[in-house]
Amino acid sequence: MDASSIHISLTHSPLDASASVDFVTAASGGRAGGISSFVGVTRRDEGSGKGERVEYLVYEAHTSMAEKKMLEIVTTLAAPERHPVLAVYAFHRLGRVNVGEASIIITAASVHRRAAIDFVSEAIDLLKAEVPVWKKEVYVSEEGERSSGLWKENAEWQPERLGSPAKPRS
């Protein structure tokens, strides 16, 4: 797979799942027999258990570092001996992401479905674990009062894989 078959970005713009399918379809040059996508969406989760619920998320990143890591993960996973995919689209949203909006889209095309499905499954796990993107949850109470937000530790984050020590838990 060459560089023109990979489209990676961090963006403040809303994500478009159909654009991801269009990209991998075109980039695969008619050779794709399977396309698989994962779309991560902000859900209206319970907050601290005090009658709060998530109103929106805010994502921040060290953009150049995050895009470099995304590209590294994608190219490693897309090696022919690992997951022989033809094209990949991986976008992560930054800034405010309301409930029901997409925060991440990963789409892959392959000759046969299994490679695309396996690629997308492994890619989302690694992207969440290794890409330096931070998430703040902003809650609203039953009375309509908005919290200032809570930066959440990513449960999948594995700093030891990046060669840095784990952050101590408080």
Element (H, E) at 128: helix 113-130
Which pLDDT belongs to residue 44? Answer: 87
CB contact at 8 A, 103 and 93: yes
pLDDT above 70: percentage of residues in the chain: 84
Which residues have CB under 8 Å from 79's CB, separation 6+?
Answer: none
Residue from 72, 83, 76, 87 nearest 23 by CA: 87
C-alpha span between 124 and 105 (Å, rounded) = 9
C-alpha span between 110 and 164 (Å, rounded) = 35
Which pLDDT belongs to residue 166? Answer: 42
pLDDT 10s digits, 83-114: 999 999 999 999 999 999 999 999 999 999 99
* Average of per-residue pLDDT across 148-155: 65
Q: Which residue type occupies 151?
A: W
Average model confidence (pLDDT) across the chain: 88
Residue 146 clears pLDDT 80, i.e. is over it: no
pLDDT 10s digits, 10-32: 999 999 999 999 999 999 999 99
Q: Which residue type occupies 41?
A: V
For domain 3-152, the CATH architecture is Alpha-Beta Complex (3.90)
Q: Which residue type occupies 144?
A: G
**What Cα–Cα distance (Å) separates residue 39 from each residue in 107, 111, 126, 157?**
9, 21, 15, 19
CB contact at 8 A, 48 and 147: no
* Average of per-residue pLDDT across 61-65: 95
Please give the biggest Cα pair distance in the chain.
Answer: 55
Question: At 49, is the pLDDT very low, low, confident or very high (cuts 50, 70, 90)?
Answer: low
Question: At 159, is the pLDDT very low, low, confident or very high (cuts 50, 70, 90)?
Answer: low
